[in-house]
Amino acid sequence: MGNIQYSFMSHWKGIPYKSIPNFRDFYYEDKTNYAYYQSWDDILKYTKACGFDGIETFAMLQEIDSIFGGPSGFVDFVESHGLKISGMFSGMGPGHVKENIPTCVANATRAIKLIAACGGKHLNLCPGIDHTTVGPLTEDGIQNTITCLNEIGRVAEDHGVHMGIHNEFFCIMNKPNHRRIIETTDPKYVHYCLDTAQVAIMGEDLCQFYEDYHDRICTFHMKDTVDMNLPDEIRYSPSNPEIQDDGHRWFWEPGLGALDFEGLYKLMKKYNFQGWATVETDGSPDLMASLAHSGYFFRKKMAKIYE
């Protein structure tokens, strides 16, 4: 095992089966590749075969209970495929409003307990709701967001989990207040999950951002983009900016965009980063191809720089 362990973010949402014992019969129902993506057994096999060490999921307590009988059953099944659960992703909710903070903390606490029960190390938390819903954060909104993140981070550390801000380019924590919120939250409790594409789309230089905040970054979401520094009218679009009617993709598999991953990995080596990095390929039209492409990119190309 090298300095970096790689997990793959499960965007095969709604996987309904633990395994499919009658696979041939299942296939003949429609004679397409649909059957290949309906069981956790198959998804985990693909993940392991493509060189990954683990998976990251959404905080899906209901699904874990219904399919696996609870976190311990989920862990056992994942580990039987030679994989681990690196962490989970969740949203903070409208913590910019003071009255909402207790509910946001309670919801995050449930996710944290689930992650801890699954042996995960990271809660990657979207720090608010969409910008289009509330517009720019007021000063009170900024202070409430900081308070909410600090409280969630404290709960996470108490459970042996790192809470990392995972920003979105359309989130209310955006370009005007991004660095301020990072710098004024408590570094003992609030870490940062660096989504390489999201910060670049928002207007940050990827390598400079890592240089500036390397001591706060506890993990990564690795994906590529060619759309750096989008204008406000797109980032603050009244419609969902992540989904474009013309099929335009903001996110690409690592190595297929314009981000300087080589420079990033040289910095990761410089600062001796060790831990989990999640490959995320949301928006991919072919998750299996994205899985294989990304596994090759990191294990064969980036490993030459730092592994």
Residue by residue, DSSP assigns 82-107 as: T-EEEEEEEE--STTSGGGHHHHHHH
Element (H, E) at 57: strand 54-58
Cα–Cα dist 34/250, whole Å: 26
Contact present, 95 and 137 (Cβ < 8 Å): no
What residues contact 102, with CB distance under 8 A and at least 6 apart? Answer: none
Split into its structural domains, the chain has a count of: 1
Handedness of CA 132, 138, 144, 145 (dihedral sign): positive
Structural domain span for residue 12: 4-304
pLDDT tens, the chain, 307 aa long: 589 999 999 888 789 999 999 999 999 999 999 999 999 999 999 999 999 999 999 999 999 999 999 999 999 999 999 999 999 999 999 999 999 999 999 999 999 999 999 999 999 999 999 888 887 899 999 999 999 999 999 999 999 999 999 999 999 999 999 999 999 999 999 999 999 999 999 999 999 999 999 999 999 999 999 999 999 888 888 776 777 778 889 999 999 999 999 999 999 999 999 999 999 988 899 999 999 999 999 999 999 999 7
Whole-structure pTM value? 0.96
CATH of the domain at 132: 3.20.20.150
